[in-house]
Amino acid sequence: MADKSVINSTVKCNTTMFMNFLRYSMPASVSIDIYRQTSTESKLAYEVIYMTVASLQFTMSIFFNLLTLRTVLQKKIRITSCGIYLLFFTLASLIGMSIFYLRIIVTLYFNDELEKHNLIHCRLSSMILNCAQILCLWIGAFISVERVLIECFHFSIYRSRICAIISSLLILLLTIASCITWFLGTQYAIHPIIPTMYLCKMRQLQSTWILVDEIFTTQTFGFLFYIYSSNVYMNRYHEAWIMNCTKFRHRSAQCCATIKLMKISIDNVNNSSNITAE
């Protein structure tokens, strides 16, 4: 009976710990994965691997986003609605990746800053990082819709950019409002493996804020826009395929008719030659 109670308490404890781990941020999960290693060599190897991968991601992101920014700022692209969306997308990507890399460095090498400046390193950085991620998804959906309007409904590429600017600003405000839950819920917590260290963790929110988070941060509307635009493109592709097949059949029928007429003409010429010879 005692053994059974011990097992139940152990399972309950492990389940609670696992659910708590799910509330940690990505940099915090990296720190947990490094310090749960038993040997010093393993910790060092994991730290080198994680920092190498994170540094490569950060370098490539900055490099390619700056190239994209330089391309988007060209006049022929800048004056279009897609250019406005791509500008917002690139800036959000730059900010998001910079915050993510900074969080990893602070969590691993300047851990005391999480407690001293909890407002900046946990609350604000978590809010900005999630805002950047959500904004990229929304802007990607808007770019898809813009392409549908141009390709399928013959909207002008160089029409007024006011609609794109207003839409981008509204999405930015909506994204900031939806990420308030990250600002309210994220806080520093004691490291589950090393008690002298700290991590950023998402605490349990009230049911009202959980509902707000589910509505605004699941990207439902963004995926609906993407699915709608994909369906429109597939329908247009299907229509174009049917049209091309019909044209091919019509041309094949014309070729067959022409070949038959040529055969008839050749037969008539041969018959005329035979009659003349006789």
Mark whether 160 and 223 lie in a shared domain.
no
Mark whether 138 and 269 lie in a shared domain.
no
Q: What is the pLDDT of residue 241?
A: 66
Could you say which of 218, 234, 264 is where a domain stops? 218
Mark whether 267 and 169 lie in a shared domain.
no
Q: What is the pLDDT of residue 214?
A: 66
Please count the other Cβ atoms lying within 10 Å of the Cβ belonging to residue 121.
24
Q: Which residue has the higher pLDDT, 56 or 194?
A: 56
Q: Which residue has the higher pLDDT, 164 or 234?
A: 164
Closest to 160 measured CA to CA, from 86, 79, 89, 88: 79
Find out whether 130 and 216 touch, Cβ atoms under 8 Å.
Answer: no
Mark whether 160 and 77 lie in a shared domain.
yes
Question: What is the number of domains present in the chain?
Answer: 2
Q: What is the pLDDT of residue 178?
A: 79
For residue 57, what pLDDT band results from cuts at 50, 70 and 90? very high
Best mean pLDDT range from 21-35, 77-91, 191-205: 77-91
Tell me the angle at which helices 26-35 and 81-109 cross, rounded to the nearest 10 degrees. Answer: 30
- For residue 81, pLDDT over 60 is answered with yes
Q: What is the pLDDT of residue 11?
A: 37
Could you say which of 175, 192, 218 is where a domain stops? 218
Q: What is the pLDDT of residue 193?
A: 85
d(CA 114, CA 51): 19
Mark whether 163 and 223 lie in a shared domain.
no
- For residue 243, pLDDT over 80 is answered with no
Q: Which residue has the higher pLDDT, 26 or 223?
A: 26
Q: Which residue has the higher pLDDT, 226 or 240?
A: 240
Q: Which residue has the higher pLDDT, 204 or 238?
A: 204
Please count the other Cβ atoms lying within 10 Å of the Cβ belonging to residue 164.
21
Mark whether 8 and 133 lie in a shared domain.
yes
Amino acid present at 258: T
Mark whether 127 and 212 lie in a shared domain.
yes
Mark whether 235 and 190 lie in a shared domain.
no
- Quote the mean pLDDT of the chain: 78
Give CA 102 to chain center in angstroms.
Answer: 20
Mark whether 199 and 67 lie in a shared domain.
yes
d(CA 174, CA 114): 28
Q: Each residue of 145-194: pLDDT tens digit?
A: 888 788 777 788 888 888 888 888 888 888 888 788 888 888 888 888 88
Q: Each residue of 143-158: pLDDT tens digit?
A: 888 887 887 777 888 8
Q: What is the pLDDT of residue 12?
A: 41
Mark whether 52 and 136 lie in a shared domain.
yes
- For residue 22, pLDDT over 70 is answered with no
- Give me the CATH number covering residue 82: 1.20.1070.10
Mark whether 174 and 241 lie in a shared domain.
no
Could you say which of 193, 218, 243 is where a domain stops? 218
Q: Which residue has the higher pLDDT, 56 or 29?
A: 56
Which structural domain range is residue 27 located in?
2-218
Q: What is the pLDDT of residue 2?
A: 40
Q: What is the pLDDT of residue 231?
A: 57
Q: Which residue has the higher pLDDT, 38 or 206?
A: 38
Q: What is the pLDDT of residue 239?
A: 66
Mark whether 262 and 133 lie in a shared domain.
no
